[in-house]
Amino acid sequence: METVKLNNGVEMPILGYGVYQVTPEECERCVLDALSVGYRSIDTAQAYFNEEGVGNALVKSGIPRSEVFITTKVWISNGGYEKAKASIDESLRKLQSDYIDLLLIHQPFNDYYGTYRAMEEACKAGKARAIGVSNFYPDRFIDLAEFCEIKPAVNQVETHVFNQQIKPQKIMERYGTRVMSWGPFAEGRNDFFTNEVLKTIGEKYGKSVAQTALRFLIQRGVIVIPKSTHKERMIQNMEVFDFVLTEEDMQAIAGLDKAKSLFFSHYDPEMVKWLIDLVK
């Protein structure tokens, strides 16, 4: 497994397993499957309601805690210094761990400045090895990054071939912040899995559309966390380190970029209200 070095020197696998939309009942099995086939990075969140499944799987796997990189995220309802501080301890309890490898603010709403201060404190106390944000657009990202003490190590944002985050990535690089992709397969939107550009390029290497898309992101230094509940697909998603896309391939895929979300906008008041009301 290839790794990336975060801006504080922590090494993180560039490919991990995400458990978004994995039910609490399924999560333990899925994470055990992922760990059994070689994944060593697991991405969860308070709002996924499956941190306990991740924790149970980690304990049952018998793999030393130091060999597995765990990411979780503080939800909007736990925003602000005091609530965030308590929620971090609750996440640690559910994950059955003394520390979180990467701790993120899930959404840029509520008192995320207070949340970030609690996360900085957790980092200094050894409860988090690295901290960062998720779903922060460049304007809010810069505002936080300029006035915080510990620069965000990661910004986890919608990143796939149709929304490649080229300009935001350059902005984040000024602060040493890595782009981490959620939705690397665009959740199948825009006929992702039958895209002719990805299909034609993949066929040259004996690879699938999904593998080609993951390889494209990895070659750009983007951290990816594809999700699947099927063990055979988990294995396929890991088989992306035995080929390299040419510059011509990369340029062809770059041409698919529309530079806009296929899902939602944080500038949409109705979407903001929906997110805030989602988990209270």
Active site residues: 48
Listed residue (70, 72, 81) closest to 35, CA to CA: 70
Under 8 Å between Cβ of 107 and 115: no
Under 8 Å between Cβ of 133 and 119: no
Crossing angle of helices 112-124 and 81-95, in 10° steps, is: 50
In which order are the strands placed within the sheet that holds 69-74? Answer: 17-18, 41-43, 69-74, 100-105, 128-134, 154-158, 178-182, 223-224
Tokens of 90: 């609750």
What is the distance between the terminal CA atoms of the chain, rounded to a whole angstrom?
38
